[in-house]
Amino acid sequence: MNPQSYDEIDGLKHYKLFIDGGWRASSRNALLDCINPANGEVFARCYQAGTAEIDDAIASSDRAAKEWGATLVADREIMLGRISEVIADRTKEIQELLIEECGSVYGKALWEIEYVQDCIRAAAGDVRHVMGETMPMTMPGQIGMSVRRPLGVIAGIAPFNSPFLLSMKKIVYAIAAGNSFILKPSEETPVSGAVMADLCAEAGLPAGVLNVIPGVPAEVGDRLMADPRVKMVTFTGSTRTGRHLAVEAAKNLKKFTLEMGGKSPLVVLKDADIDYAVDAAAWGVFLHQGQVCMANSKVIVEKEIFETFRDKFVAKTKGIKVGDPRDPETVIGPLIRARQCEFIDGHIGDATEKGATVLTGATHDGRTYVPTVLEGVTPEMRIYHEETFGPVVSLIAAEDSEDALRIANDTSYGLSAAVITNDMQKAMDFSMRMEAGMVHVNDCTISDEPHVPFGGIKNSGFGREGGRYSMEELTEVKWVTIQMGKREFSF
């Protein structure tokens, strides 16, 4: 890290805000403790933006957007390549931070960095594909065309579970489309935001194209939403917060994309390869301690194979390694939020009081929650409907494939869904009838690539991220006409 990015006080780094290409402390002198979830210790502190810093970031972004939006596409491609090179050089540093700050296990942290590299390559390719079209006109001698132009200032509000991946995905597509970007990182992972600013600064990204302002969510978010210079907000996080942002965006006529929560179902039909289905289901719910919006926290299995699947799944779950996230063999590390353990206990307690059975787990040591499997979960239970955001899965028996589909769709969410079957007729039928923005056949519910239309329906999202879909969201269409010769006017 650039030594100017922090002050070292009493042995702790105090990370600064990144505004207009420079590092600065907060005028309000507010600091946030950054906690290592594996041991509960403070490993750093981050300055929190006040009104002055938020306003300066918006002004800086507004100035930079005008210049950056006029740059050649080749220059944007080159800049994205430089950012990628810096990330490659600093991979180990980023990986260690993701382990320390958000409890990512060794492999997940590395995968997150590799995804960002892939995302940058995809965004660089999409720079040249922001295209309009020509169209026939009724007016004699007139040519019509549409062009896409950058929006200007984009505000991004990022989550804590995959802070590097989900923030950088927003950043690189915004700057690829010719916009400037203001990042408000999660209050749980603000150091990751500082590192992203430092990476882009080292690559030579012009001042103001990226500003990073950690702070109190309501204060930063509301001010960004109210300022007319901010043309769009892109958000990943809870449905409750996403709904609030949608209302505020509508009040101020801003564009917005929302990627919110999920209660994603995985359906296993009776003709499936059971061993494969067990492996897919386990990976799809226990990756990153279940702190993934796409996690298949409901696994719905046809009754003919339910008991066999259940017994094999429980055995698989009991063999998953829990412990130190720095150990490459560890699968389950600590939850990022200490209070999440209490929340999970509440879900499990409610379920068991209403008749569900714990097959394994339901205990935790500090922030580390043991992978947990429930049977007998019904619609009367909170866990049937609510996102647990932890390593907990509900196994549900279905009478037949139609009953399985009914249970899968019985949710207010609609992010991701999956079905495992060797019957391609049913696979295609399920893919069309499952109420989700993304459906995966013969896979778990966790899947993402930089160029796909990632997003959900119902309470899971609005708009899409990735590839040309991001480029369309992050630009606006303008209609242009050219009159050849003189137009005849009626008066």
Residue 293 known to be catalytic: yes
Residue type, 100: E
Residue 259 known to be catalytic: yes
Cα 115 to chain centroid distance, Å, stands at 12
Q: Which entry of 200, 293, 341, 444 is annotated as an active-site residue?
A: 293
Q: Where are the beta strands (DSSP E) in 87-205?
A: 133-135, 142-150, 153-157, 180-184
Q: Name the CA dihedral angle for 333, 106, 416, 122, rounded to a multiple of 10 degrees.
A: 160
C-alpha span between 308 and 109 (Å, rounded): 33
Other beta carbons within 10 angstroms of residue 51's beta carbon come to 13
Residue whose token pair is 């066999």: 308
Report DSSP letters for 191-247, one per residue: HHHHHHHHHHHHHTPPTTSEEE----HHHHHHHHHH-TTEEEEEEES-HHHHHHHHH
Side-chain half-sphere exposure of 87, counting CA atoms within 13 A = 26
Q: Which entry of 259, 302, 387, 473 is annotated as an active-site residue?
A: 259
C-alpha span between 176 and 157 (Å, rounded): 18
Cα 194 to chain centroid distance, Å, stands at 18
DSSP state of 206: P
Nearest to 448 by CA among 122, 62, 4, 215: 122
Write out the catalytic residue numbers.
259, 293
